[in-house]
Structure 1
């Protein structure tokens, strides 16, 4: 089976290459005679004075030679792609230049008027390029008809990555969906058309677009999107009953290339806007097991979660310090299922009391200290900066000195 596949693919490539060569050769025949007729006002009697036919085999040979040198007939090109058209333009430009020089310097009767040679190059480019465009358009129509059974997708983001993703979704056999419309918040891109698809609005138009185009998928084609952006788009997609697929960050893309197979559902890291840090549980256990651990600010949101996590690793003693008795009540309840505030490991203390902090450290002699006591609500701290200084600076200093 492998032998059959490996022989068929080169045969198909050779067939396409031969078809391109034949098409380009025919374009030169048409271009040379059409250019001469235009130059001579379609007077056939005047055409006979020239030897246009003598230029045709030369044009064919030069087209193949320069086409090979410029890669037009050596690689596999997507029909009508920018790379193929650029190679075609370089090839026909070189052929035109050689034919022009040959026409001027050849002794005796000239094969064609010099101006007709220049016009023939232009007509050959239009003819060969036009055939490629028609072929590309026909292939696009066949592929879109073939993909009618795939889920219909809205593409959010029409930057470089978005355009590449649209190409990939339209032309790759492994495409998980078919794009039907584009969304972008950039007002300058409104009504922009990419591969026959139009930008019909921004994120606010998502619900309407999903109903109008019968879409079931939203593709977020912005690999640099922040977590807040992905969260908001995901929430809007949920309201529109759209499945969400995202392009991974550039660091996750192989070779930086965007392909349809790269699409995936958003992960926690995408929604958070940062990668998830995996805790080395074995190392953490060896660091905390059978040790005296002190957590300051144990009644707060961060401190209480620290206490719950640390308790899993079997410390010899877990001392929880806070100046808020309600916070200590909650953390004891979450750890022990009871909250009588009768444990010696619960310490009601303000870290701004420097002497008391030093006294506590002398009593329990902690091996590890997690300092989570702080005032954290910025607007309130800006209104009362002295309190922020006392707790977050002087309080932290007292803990550091005691440790």
Structure 2
């Protein structure tokens, strides 16, 4: 019946709804007149009839005016019910008051009882319609994969609605589990909550489920890991919904359901940021991003763009990278606008001209050389870009009065043992000097590996797996901190809002993860038989990264996921200008902290 109704033209369905609501007033009048104990005088009956006709006219006018009859709300939804109640209430107040004051023979009780009766008939029809729609048989039930849904909250309700109403739903829900004991007897669209999360395997076996759908957008990596292990052991496919920030409008769609990937295990922490504080220093301002074509720079550019800056300047030395980020942000890659700047931060004169032309208020400095083994081989290149290049950007920024400067650093700057770490440490110190010397909010933000960035271990592993292996891991015990690019950039922007002059803000990276576990997970996802070879730690590489060295004392900032640490300032005039002298200065300038934080052990 409901399917036939939905196949009717929209105008016919809307006319049926209008007719029913008009009939509801007439039925209400009939019930009202039949329930009166005394006989109704002809004059009273006439006024009740006129009142009803007036109410029907007002109902149609108000329904069309509020677009209630034009498909604004889903019939039978809470919003539809509330809208209908407001319309009927408004009619009762307006028409009832007018008739009571204008007609002595109009019975007062009609002004109260008749709208209530009409509303009951309207609501009953909508409730019946919704019950019929929601109980209609699914066309794809015979071919769909039986699945248990983990999570009976809002996301779980959305998943159930999707699967029950879709014509070709890939899954057939056979039950729910939820960690909240209070939901033990809850039914989600007629699907019963059959147990707690720990009962997932038992429930799946009892209901002959072949898949589990994790319907918790803010699920912790620990929960995902435990559920993934249980599903792997018992041959269940695990599907997940993405984190809330990846869903359009916070809504689960059929396309957003996907198989578990390694990023879900490493970087699904809910990040809460104060958007008003971030917007205060970005919205309506000229913002410049160096290294805008890189993984971090391009994501920073995207997040800044959403906050409505007066102008967003994207600077990079790689024209292809600029082309890609312009396509991503604006849908074209013509590279013919002055906000796309091709410039190398090593070229101080060119950089100064860019800053003088655009006069940015805010700078995010993400340009850097970051590949550790390459910089170990070519330390002078790291010196030129990461140290002298940062000095050039700082000089240009201060010269044009940049209000806020955020230098993107790395956890390798803590207890630095590599060229990468040492150059980024010096960049932090240069930023601190400008901040303390001129009392301006220039600061650095330090974080670890980001998932999916160019050159990251995930990219390397995926390439090796696609080629059939082997997957190379430096050491079976080596660990690293991980977070996703959006998470890192959200916190970088938050750090820019709360950081004080000269701060080095350290992002909470969660718990370190064994690289070997990441490799095993990605191999398992590929369903290929691939070997893992251990190559040994490379020069300058640590067994375990640290976020603070022994000589640094971190303290809590205003944000629970951001700590702050002090680094000694370094006057840019004290920098060596010759590359060889600079490398010597770089190696001798900073203590490495705990020498046991890295190891030269090799695995052959």
Bigger radius of gyration among the two: 1
**Equivalent residue for 1:104?**
100
Tell me what 1:201 maps to: 195
Matched, 1:16 2:43: no
**Distance in 2 (alpha carbons) for counterparts of 1:179 and 1:373:** 44
1:373/1:145 CA distance change after superposition, 3 Å: closer
SS at match of 1:201: coil
In 2: Cα distance, 1:248 partner to 1:95 partner? 45
The answer as to whether partners of 1:228 and 1:272 remain within 8 angstroms in 2 is: no
Give the TM-score of the pair, scaled to structure 1. 0.66
**Residue matched to 1:339:** none
Matched, 1:370 2:541: yes
Answer yes or no: is 1:50 the counterpart of 2:45. Answer: yes
1:66 matched residue in structure 2? 62
Greater shift in the superposed pair: 245-254 or 69-78: 69-78
Q: Say which of 578, 595, 603 aligns to 1:395.
A: 595
- Counterpart of 1:25? 22
Tell me what 2:237 maps to: 243
Alignment of 1:3-402 (within 5 A): 12-38=9-35, 40-41=36-37, 46=41, 49-51=44-46, 52-107=48-103, 109-110=105-106, 113-144=107-138, 147-173=141-167, 175-273=169-267, 286-289=374-377, 301=476, 369-372=540-543, 393=593, 395=595
Q: Deviation at 1:158?
A: 1.7
Deviation at 1:201, TM superposition (A): 0.9
Cα deviation, residue 247, structure 1:
0.5
| Change in 2 beyond 3 A, CA 1:141/1:335 | closer
Counterpart CA distance in 2 for 1:147 and 1:257 is 23
Alignment check: 8 A CA contact 2:151 2:177 kept:
yes
**By how many angstroms is 1:193 displaced?**
2.1
- Report the Cα distance in structure 2 between the residues aligned to 1:203 and 1:107, rounded to whole angstroms: 65
Deviation at 1:14, TM superposition (A): 1.6
Contact conserved, 1:71 with 1:87, CA < 8 A, in 2? no
Distance 1:120 1:189, change over 3 A: same
Check 1:273–1:56 CA distance in 2 against 1; reply closer, same or farther (3 A cut).
same
- Give distance in 2, aligned partners of 1:241 and 1:48: 77
The structure where helix makes up a greater share of residues is 1
2:175 alignment partner, SS class: strand
Write the distance in 2 (CA, Å) between the matches of 1:220 and 1:146.
Answer: 21
SS at 2:74's partner residue? coil
**CA-to-partner distance for each residue in 1:312-339, whole Å, 9 max, x for gaps?**
xxxxxxxxxxxxxxxxxxxxx9659xxx
Residue 585 of structure 2: aligned partner: none
Structure 1, unpaired ranges of 5+:
1-8, 306-332, 337-345, 347-365, 376-391
Structure 1 residue 68 displacement after superposition: 2.6
Q: SS at 1:222's partner residue?
A: coil
**Aligned 8 A contact 1:67 1:73 in 2:** yes
Q: What residue ranges of structure 2 are gaps of 5+ in the alignment?
A: 1-5, 270-293, 297-367, 381-416, 419-473, 481-532, 547-591, 600-604
Would you say the 8 A contact 2:139–2:168 is kept in 1? no
Alignment match, 1:3? none
Going from structure 1 to structure 2, the CA distance change for 1:84 and 1:174 (only over 3 Å counts) comes to farther
Contact 1:155 1:181 in 2 (8 A): yes
Shift of 1:397: 11
Q: Is the contact made by 2:149 and 2:212 (CA closer than 8 Å) also made in structure 1?
A: yes
Paired residue secondary structure (1:258) = coil
Pair 163,10 (structure 1): closer, same or farther in 2 beyond 3 Å = closer
Distance apart, 1:137 and its partner CA: 1.3
Aligned length: 312
Structure 1 residue 238, shift from structure 2 partner:
3.6
Counterpart Cα distance in 1 of 2:24 and 2:598? 87
- Given the superposition, is the C-alpha separation of residues 236 and 371 from structure 1 closer, same or farther in structure 2, using an over 3 Å criterion? closer
Secondary structure at the counterpart of residue 166 of structure 1: helix
- Cα RMSD between the aligned structures? 4.1
